[in-house]
A and B are shown apart, each in its own frame.
Chain A
Amino acid sequence: MKKLLMLLTFCFTVNQMSAQLLDNLRVGLESNMAWYNDDKRTGPFFDGENNDGDEHVRVNSYLKLDYDFLESFTATVQIESYEPLALLNYSPNFEGTDFGIYSLNYRSDKLEASAGHYYEQFGSGLILRNWEDRQLGLNNALLGGRVKYMPTNFLSLTGLYGKQRVGFETADSDIFGFNTEIDISNIFKFESSSLNLGISYVGRQEKTDIEDPNFDELTNAFSGRIDFSKGNFYANAEYVTKSDDVFVINGQVINSFVNPGNALLFNTGFSKKGFGLDATFRRLENMGFFSEREKTGNVFLENNINFTPALTKQHDYLLTNIFVYQAQSQVVFADPQLMEAGEIGGQIDVFYNIKKGTALGGKYGTKLAFNASYWAGLKGDYDFDNLTYDVDYFGFGEKYFSDVSLEIRKKWNKKMNSIFYYVNQYYNQRTIEDNFSGEQIKTNIIVGETFYKFGRIGQSVRLELQKLWSNTENHDWVGGTIEYNASPRLSFYVNDIYNSGTDSSTSENHYYNFGGSFNKGSTRFSLNYGRQRAGLVCVGGVCRFVPEATGLSASLLMSF
């Protein structure tokens, strides 16, 4: 309360200052509201996380201020409010109103320094990534200090120390990091190719109460990277190794089960105008890395030090997002039949533009995108009773997931465009969700989308039809969306998905939604009413489970 009043005073004071000063201020406001209803079909509203069915109205709000001053400095604060409670399925650590982020940053050509909260990523994030995603309720910034020094145009050095943010508090551990990037091509003045190297270290120091622990309080992770490109070709590789880390099940440290971890990522591609090809291979073994060991595998995505996203295509349609792969980075010993130490697999992407004026290209050309991925467990010997495993380095074990998709985009004329989308998936529910009774689900999904422009600028309609067939009686979905854009500012939509299968949780329920949005400049307001299907909500490669809920929701975004 006091803090807010102080800030309010601060804002008014700033308001009185000259326009010159205001030019240096950037403000972002986001507010997401929900009013949850009881639902005849899916039952009365109840929030299992907070054990509360009375607080039907929930609001998450974020206010961020960045102020540039003295040419090289920026001060940032972010105030967050979760009142009376946070939206459903956010971590209970997001409670009340408080400063979420505060930092002071200095920046010059050769030196950057931050004190307070900061977001850092080393390499692809396999060893360290701090980031924020408000939709996922994720903010794992480090609170401490970071220095980046770039003495020459081919060398960059980063050193950092911090405690990881968890809710409005920090984790009870210390994170140390060091990163070096070397641009070899700059040193040797390569003209036609580029070669970069990266070396990182991340340490987690956390005290333990375990007597005679079989592991060190300091866990060390090292990574090395190489990036090469020449003309239309590129390739890069990253290897991470993590020192002995203890197995955790349901928040319990199992002192007799300690293993090191490692990750290998390889990516290569070739592209030229009208054609692109990319292939990725990755192997993860025991790569869960958390700022508190006991938080391993928590559903709120808290305490994550590294980032091991599912390397599969991120689909955009309602029915293509029902069976979503989650990277299996950590060790799971749930049952003698359900044991994992990681994952191995890859994906391939092809983009091709059929030229204008050809038979298949037509007047505007036809754009194709193809993706395929395959992921499996690590092949090897797993011993449930003695808590040991011994896995092959390049052995493919039980299949977890596969995905094949083809997208065709076609512009028919100045007014009409269509997208055709086909997906075939295999989803091993038992291993991906650690669910003993899970099924092996195979699906075929077809989506057709067309939009048509008419009338004045920005007026259009969009129609989307979707159908999912599966090999199980439980899943047989159909869905559709109609959107009407009255202008670039005003838009309305209705959608619905329906499962005519026998799955107890979703069968014969319509998951309908309707709403609209208004945009003006950087302000956006949207209003929505509908029923949310329980399942994974995926944003930027990380997915979280959201519960079934019905209600009215509204969102306001502003930045200036």
Chain B
Amino acid sequence: MKYLFAAFFISISLLMHSQEFPDINLNNLDGNSISVKALADSSDIKIFSFWATWCVPCINELDAIADVYEDWQDETNVELIAVSTDDARTKKRVIPLVNGKGWEYQILLDENQDLKRALNINVLPYVVVVKNGEIIHTRTGYTPGSEEELYEVVKEHSK
């Protein structure tokens, strides 16, 4: 059985490709339904950052980007969409946290993790960079300074 899984794994590696963004609607903080596919279908680069209020590295990353976000936007027109995966336990903390921190990001709520599941995201933080509806870069986890590498990707594709 182990070998089968290995064979499986190899066959799947052969299938690696750039994938399209799934078609799912999520609510924003005003309770309006937003199509993530419509957001992703843009010639400007969009960064979808999956986070949760209880995830320290997620907050470290969003705090770090918040410090330089204005410069990023001026130079590349990039937009960061912070997708909260908080469920009923912690969802209520999202609005006060976002405002308390003064984040300027568009926030979407993936309360029952439909988008997270559709993208097969298992651990947070998770960043997906999208252009014209196609995923051009993904990254799992955050260590201090990784945002600089993320920005290199954004700059490279925004030309």
Contacts and interface: CB of A to CB of B under 8 A. Distances in A.
24 contacts: A11-B11, A14-B15, A15-B15, A29-B9, A30-B122, A68-B22, A83-B1, A125-B112, A194-B31, A227-B31, A280-B92, A315-B54, A316-B54, A364-B67, A417-B60, A453-B145, A457-B149, A458-B148, A485-B144, A491-B141, A524-B123, A541-B89, A541-B90, A559-B120
Given A25-B15, A125-B88, A488 B98 contact: no
Nearest to A491: B143
A232 to B, nearest CB: 8
Contact of A269 (B16, B95, B119, B122): B95
Contact of A29 (B12, B100, B102, B140): B12
Interface string A262-303: 000001010111111110100000000000000000000000
Contacts of A183: 31
B143 A22 contact: no
A280 B14 CA distance: 49
Given A11-B12, A126-B88, A271 B99 contact: yes
B112 A121 contact: yes
B11 A8 contact: yes
Contacts of A232: 99
B144 A417 contact: yes
Interface string A186-206: 000000001010000000000
B17 A369 contact: no
- Which of B55, B60, B101 has most A Cβ within 10 Å? B101
Contact of A409 (B63, B90, B99, B143): B63
Contacts of A411: 63, 67
A120 interface: yes
Interface of B: 1-2, 4-5, 7-9, 11-12, 14-20, 22-23, 30-31, 52-56, 60, 63, 67, 85, 87-93, 95-102, 111-114, 117-123, 126, 137-141, 143-146, 148-149
A269 B29 CA distance: 13
A134 B2 CA distance: 20
Contact of A81 (B5, B98, B113, B120): B5
A41 B98 CA distance: 46
A457 B148 contact: yes
B93 A278 contact: yes
B93 A349 contact: yes
Given A124-B88, A488-B145, A519-B139, A271 B11 contact: no
B97 A560 contact: no
A11 B15 contact: yes
Which secondary structure dominates where chain A touches chain B?
A: strand
B141 A519 contact: yes
The 10 tightest CB contacts between A and B, nearest first, are A351-B100, A28-B120, A276-B96, A541-B89, A309-B89, A271-B99, A276-B100, A559-B120, A485-B143, A124-B88
A310 B90 CA distance: 10
Contacts of B137: 521
Interface string A114-128: 000001110011100
Interface stretch (A46-54, A59-67, A374-382, A428-436): A59-67
Nearest to A265: B88
A275 B117 contact: no
A367 interface: yes
Contacts of B9: 29
Contacts of B126: 522
Interface in A351-373: 351-353, 364, 367, 369
B18 A23 contact: yes
A355 to B, nearest CB: 9
Given A81-B5, A353-B101, A129 B149 contact: no
Contacts of B148: 457-458
B96 A349 contact: yes
Contacts of B2: 59, 83
A61 B108 CA distance: 30
A451 B126 CA distance: 20
Interface in A53-81: 59, 61, 63-64, 66, 68, 74, 81
Contacts of A313: 54
A254 interface: no
B88 A277 contact: no
A207 interface: no
A418 to B, nearest CB: 11
